[in-house]
Amino acid sequence: MVVWDEEGFQGPRHEFTVVCPSVLELGFETVRSLKVLSGAWVGFEHAGFQGQHSVLERGDYPGWDAWGGNTAYPAERLTSFRPVACANHRDSRLTIFEQENFLGRKGELNDDYPSLLAMGWDGSEVGSFHVQSGAWVCSQFPGYRGFQYILESDHHSGDYKHFREWGSHAHTFQVQSVRRIQQ
């Protein structure tokens, strides 16, 4: 991926193909625009993969409004980046559970769902996740809006048993849309 110091792909640029724990070390104060040329990435608000994060798939991101997934608390800057290992789209599998610790009713997903209610899930919450394969992004509200949580088969052994494991900014079980991350 390529990052720029200024909006609209202006100013000093830097290209990297592996994990970047802090753009400060590259002489950047922050990243104000970027392009993902291959793969899928996660961008974090703070150095060391801390703070709010955004899934970054292939494409052009001319300013913070392009990656700000959360309208109420958008991450206006990105400081660290890491790649996401995705499975082939057809092979991506995720199990969702009604309650924490993989308890209660469950659902098996292998597609994208902008509305879990519309696919037959009962309620606006998910208690826990098990990622069998692939990488997924789930969102607080329908249509992939609100806080996002990234779920990967190669992190936590694919087990996310409570919202405290979904991400530092997760403070509720509310999840209303889920999709695969595209590489």
With CB under 8 A as the contact rule, the residue among 100, 114, 156, 169 that binds a copy of itself is 114
3-state SS class at 118: coil
Cα dihedral value 131, 135, 111, 101, nearest 10: 30
- Give dist(CA 13, CA 23) in Å, integer: 11
- What is the per-residue binding string for a copy of itself in 12-41, x denoting contact by CB under 8 A? ------------------------x-----
With CB under 8 A as the contact rule, the residue among 10, 17, 88, 115 that binds a copy of itself is 115
DSSP 8-class letter at 156: G
Angle at 96 between CA 90 and CA 81, to 5 degrees: 70
With CB under 8 A as the contact rule, the residue among 112, 132, 159, 167 that binds a copy of itself is 112
With CB under 8 A as the contact rule, the residue among 2, 19, 24, 117 that binds a copy of itself is 117
**Tokens at 79, concatenated:** 């400081």
- What is the per-residue binding string for a copy of itself in 58-87, x denoting contact by CB under 8 A? xxxx-xxxxxxxxxx-x-------------
Name which of 49 and 147 has its Cβ closer to a copy of itself: 147
Whether 133 and 89 have beta carbons less than 8 Å apart is answered as no
Number of residues that bind a copy of itself (CB under 8 A): 43
- Give dist(CA 141, CA 104) in Å, integer: 22
Residues that bind a copy of itself in the complex, under the rule CB under 8 A: 36, 54-61, 63-72, 74, 112-119, 124, 137, 140-146, 176-177, 179, 181-183
